[in-house]
A and B are shown apart, each in its own frame.
Chain A
Amino acid sequence: MTERKTPMLDELEKGPWPSFVTDLKRAAEKNDSVKDLIAQLEQSYEEKKGHWKHGGIVGVRGYGAGVIGRYSDEPEKYPNIAEFHTLRINSPAGWFYDTKTLRNVCDMWEEHGSGLLNLHGTTGDIILLGTKTNELQPTFDAFSDAGFDLGGSGSGLRSPSACCGPARCEWACYDTLDVCDNLTHEYQDEMHRPMWPYKFKFKFSGCPNDCVASIARSDLSVIGTWRDTLRINQEEIKNYANSGMDIQGRVCEKCPTKALTFNSETKELFVKAEDCTRCMHCINVLPKAVRPGKEKGATLMIGGKSTILRSAFLSWVIVPFMPLEAPYTELKDLIARIWEWWDEHGKTRERIGELIYRLGMGNFLRAVDLPPVPQMVKEPRANPYIFWQADEVIKADEATK
């Protein structure tokens, strides 16, 4: 292979930050497909045009998801990336590995593919970038023998993902890792054999800090919360105040619902429980003094997604509070009803949030048998999603006759 010049890519190595170009060049020393990848990318930059072809059929036996087929549209010029498919590997809940496992992942991927990989981005999966069609099954077999499975892709369930939760974080209001693992096993078919209108994602955050950004990145966001009132340790509040923390300015005035009052004489902090929206702000600023309540569970929200048929949506509340204890029967029953309605009424490529937008929150709630609650109001003093039904209005009419 002759070395090709890549002036535009080289430019990207000049800043003070680490560059993916440097990484690619290093990988290219070991792998010819990366050489062609770099050359084709340079051409794309020159022409301001992508050179990847999508689609077709690639996969491993029995699976309809987890492999994303890609081909160069100039295979004669770039023979080593004529086929350059991506595999998604389902990652462990909370993304914990030991070093031996990570080395093994790298070794397997250098043997079977380009050696390029991406950990835990938007999908949550391990993304293996670039291999040939005839390497797909051997790659899958190797990862499978090492205890890994493919993740989701296409019109099915995507690999669920969770924040590190109770493993490392004291704010976790439920066991994100266990729910994620439990549901991943429960819904193997939904993940591996895509049969829906379009994709569906769960993401589990242990508290409203929402470290996996489930509100924006998942169709069903499960976000830990507490039902009672947050707990305040007045001794620690005094310590914060004495060490110069501006509790009035940094905590009380930043509370979105003004639920907090600080007595600067006695150096005590008080919360009006019914006003607190459980946003975590005061806890994040005063972690030693304030913590979540005792009665813990999760808020379920629906419809988060990026743009496709409609603009990007953040998910919105459907269940303000659900206790989450294994085996998560209440959650699974609700999921079953949600999927059934969506699968029945959704158009091709329509996400659940878009379907609710099209048919109305009221219809959705009646179909999945959830009561309307004040937490569903779109925004204060704005139009709620809940309207009177025709039969209810007729009854009222008759009453006035």
Chain B
Amino acid sequence: MAEDLRERILSYLNGVSKAKTRDIADALGEKKKDVDKIVRDLGNEDIIEFLYLGTSYVRIKGKED
């Protein structure tokens, strides 16, 4: 289940330039808490990165618009 959600989060992030975890959770119809947890792991694994543009977003590391 978590494996599956992780893949879906990654594929969502691959399709957008950046997102708040709230947007990811809403788009995938998942609980924000579960998304946050996986996004945190992805951050620690250096797969995603955080950017701050008035509020914090995440995106796939190095992905340009």
- Closest A residue to B57 by beta carbon equals A155
Partner of A189, one of B21, B22, B40: B40
For B46, what are the chain A residues with a Cβ–Cβ distance below 8 Å? 61-62
Given known contacts A154-B55, A155-B56, A194 and B50 CB-to-CB distance under 8 angstroms: yes
In the complex, 18 of the A-B residue pairs with CB atoms within 8 angstroms, ordered by the A residue number, are: A55-B52, A59-B49, A62-B43, A64-B50, A64-B56, A154-B50, A154-B52, A154-B56, A155-B56, A156-B56, A189-B40, A193-B39, A193-B50, A194-B52, A195-B36, A197-B22, A197-B55, A198-B55
Chain A residues lying within 8 Å of B39, measured Cβ to Cβ, are 193, 195
B8 CB within 8 Å of chain A = no
- Residue interface mask B1-38, A partner, CB < 8 A = 1: 00000000000000000001110000000001000100
Q: Given A61-B46, A62-B43, A153–B52 Cβ distance below 8 Å?
A: yes
**Which among B20, B21, B32, B50 is the interface contact of A57 at CB below 8 angstroms?**
B50
Contacts of A198 in B (CB 8 A): 55
Please, how many angstroms separate the alpha-carbon atoms of A197 and B58 in the complex?
A: 13
Q: Considering the chains assembled together, what is the distance between the CA atoms of A61 and B40 in angstroms?
A: 12
Interface string of A74-107 (1 = CB under 8 A from B): 0000000000000000000000000000000000
CB pair B44–A62 under 8 Å, yes or no, is yes
Contact B55 A59 (CB under 8 A): no
Cβ-defined partner of B55 (8 Å) among A56, A65, A348: A348
How far is it, in angstroms, between the C-alpha of A348 and the C-alpha of B55 when the chains are bound? Answer: 7
The yes or no answer to A349 lying at the interface (CB within 8 A) is: yes
Tell me whether A64 and B55 are in contact (CB under 8 A).
no
Collect the chain B residues with CB atoms within 8 Å of residue A153's CB.
Answer: 52
Interface residues of A (CB under 8 A from B): 55-57, 59, 61-65, 68-69, 153-156, 189, 193-198, 343-344, 348-349
Cross-chain contact of B54 among A57, A69, A349 (Cβ < 8 A): A349
Partner of B40, one of A68, A154, A155, A193: A193
Residues of B within 8 A of A194 (CB): 50, 52, 56
Residues of chain B lying within 8 A (CB to CB) of residue A156 = 56
New A-B pairs, 12, CB < 8 Å, besides A55-B51, A156-B56, A193-B43: A56-B51, A59-B49, A59-B50, A62-B46, A63-B50, A153-B52, A193-B36, A195-B20, A195-B39, A195-B56, A344-B32, A349-B55
With a cutoff of 8 Å between Cβ atoms, the chain A residues found around residue B56 in the complex are 64-65, 154-156, 194-196
Q: How many residues of B contact A (CB 8 A)?
A: 19
Residue of B nearest to A346 (CB): B22
Chain A residues whose C-beta falls within 8 Å of the C-beta of B51 in the assembled complex: 55-57
Determine the chain A residues whose CB is within 8 A of the CB of B22 once the complex forms: 197, 343
Q: Is the CB–CB distance between B49 and A57 below 8 Å?
A: yes
The 5 closest A-B pairs by CB, nearest first: A64-B50, A194-B56, A155-B56, A154-B56, A62-B44
- Name the residue on B nearest A193 (C-beta): B40
B4 CB, nearest partner CB in chain A, Å:
21
Query: A64 and B58: CB pair below 8 A?
Result: yes
Q: What's the Cα separation between A153 and B55 when bound, in Å?
A: 10
Whether A65 contacts B50 in the complex (CB less than 8 A), given A154-B55, A155-B56, A348-B20, comes out as yes
Q: Contacts A57-B50, A195-B21 given; indicate if A64 touches B43 (C-beta within 8 A).
A: yes
Question: Which residue of B is nearest A196, CB measured?
Answer: B56
Closest to B37 in A: A189
Q: How far is the CA of A195 from the CA of B58 in the complex (A)?
A: 9
Rounded to whole Å, the gap between the CB of B44 and the closest CB of chain A is 5
**Complexed CA–CA distance, A155 and B23 (Å):** 14
A62 to chain B, nearest CB (A): 5
Chain B positions within 8 Å of A61 at CB level? 46
Which chain A residue has the least Cβ–Cβ distance from B48?
Answer: A64
CA distance A337 to B53 in the complex (A): 27
**Residue among B21, B39, B55 with the most chain A CB within 10 A?**
B55
B21 contact set on A, CB distance < 8 A: 195
Question: Complex: how many Å from CA A31 to CA B53?
Answer: 30
* A343 pairs with B49, CB closer than 8 A: no
Q: Which residues of A contact B43 (CB under 8 A)?
A: 62-64, 193
